[in-house]
Amino acid sequence: MNLSLQGKTFVVMGVANKRSIAWGIARSLHAAGARLIFTYGRERTEKSVKQLVETLETNNSIILQCDVTSDEQIHTCFSKIKEEVGTIHGIAHCVAFANKEELSGEYLNVTREGFLLAQNISAYSLSAIAKEVKNLELMAEGGSFITLSYLGGERVMTNYNVMGVAKASLEASVKYLASNLGQYGIRVNSISAGPIRTLSAKGVSDFNTILKEVEEKSPLRRCTTPEEVGDTAVFLFSDMSRGITGENIHVDSGYHVIG
Ligand code: N5H
C-alpha cells in the first residue's frame, strides 16, 4: 500500500481559478502521478480551467462541462468519461452555490427557491453523480468519492445560513451514500476545510476577521491551505485510507475542537 496514484484516473469537479480548493486537490493528485479529468459548470470558467491545466507538467487531461443541476448534462459528461477512459478511481466533488443575498444577515431571509437551489447544487448533486457513476459502472475497480464541507454544516456559523443547512445535508448524504456504495467497493468521505480565500469567499465582508480568529485560536495557530486539503484528498483516494468511509475529516488546523 502506498500513496502513489500512478495508473489511476480521477475526476475533479469545480475548479474555478488558481485559488480553488479543487485546484489544490488537482495539484496534489497530479504530483501523486494520477491522470486527471476536469469538469466545470459555467461556460465562462472553461478558459481559466484550460489555462491552469496547461501549467501541469504532464498535460493529458480531459476537460468537460458538467452543470450539476441537469441530469442530462451529468449523463452526457460521465458517458463521455466512460468512452474516453473506461474506468475511473475517484471523484472530487468541489461544487457549491447559494444566492449571495441568503449568505448574510438573518437566516430567516431564506426563501424556498434559494433553499432548494443551495440544496440542489451543493448537496443533491453528489447523489446524482454517484447514481450515474454506478449506472455506467465507471468505478468497476472500486473507488472513492470526496466532497468538501465546512464547519457551518455542523454548528451555526455567522452568515453561513442557507449554505450551513446545505452542508448538513451534504454530510448526511456522505453517510447514506457510503452505506449504499460500500458493497461495490466504493468509499465516500468529506473534507471539512478551514476557511480559505477562494472565489466562493469573495465578497464575504469580514473574511479577514474569520481568518485572524483561526490564526489565533486554532490548535495549529495558522490558516488552512489548499495544499493541505489536496494532500488529505490524495490519502482519501489512496488505498492507505481503505478502512475509511462515511467520514468527515477536518482539515482546519484543528479549529473544530475549540469551543
Ligand atoms: C461563514 C462564512 C462566510 C459567509 C458564507 C459564505 C458562503 C460561501 C459558499 C457559497 C458556495 C458561495 C457562493 O455561492 C457565492 C455566490 O453567491 C456568488 N459567487 C459566484 O457566483 C462565483 C462567481 C462562483 C464561482 O461561485 C460559485 N459558488 O459558483 C463561510 C466562510 C468563512 C468559509 C467559506 C467561504 C465556506 C464555503 O463554503 O465556501
156 lines ligand 1 (CB under 6 A): no
pLDDT at 203: 84
Residue of the CA atom closest to atom 9 of ligand 1: 200
**Residue of 23, 48, 200 best suited for mutating to test ligand 1, as the one with most atoms within 8 Å of CB:** 200
Helix (H, G, I), strand (E, B) or coil at 246: coil
Q: How does the average pLDDT of the chain come out, rounded?
A: 97
CATH architecture of 9-254: 3-Layer(aba) Sandwich (3.40)
Coil/strand/helix, residue 55: coil
Task: Compute the distance from residue 176 Cα to the ligand 1 centre, in Å.
Answer: 25
Average pLDDT value for residue range 138-151: 98
Query: DSSP assignment, residue 151?
Result: G
Q: Return the active site residues.
A: 150, 160
- Is the CB of residue 159 below 6 angstroms from any atom belonging to ligand 1? yes
Q: How far apart are CA 110 and CA 249, in angstroms?
A: 28
Q: Which amino acid is at 176?
A: Y
Q: What single DSSP character describes residue 202?
A: T
ipTM of the assembly?
0.97
Q: For 151, how many CA atoms within 13 A lie in the half-sphere containing its CB?
A: 20
Grid coordinates in use for 247?
Answer: 467520514
Confidence (pLDDT) at 66 = 98
Q: With a 6 A CB cut-off, is 88 part of the ligand 1 pocket? A: no
pLDDT at residue 1 tops 80: no
In the chain, where the domains are located: 9-254
pLDDT > 90? residue 207: yes
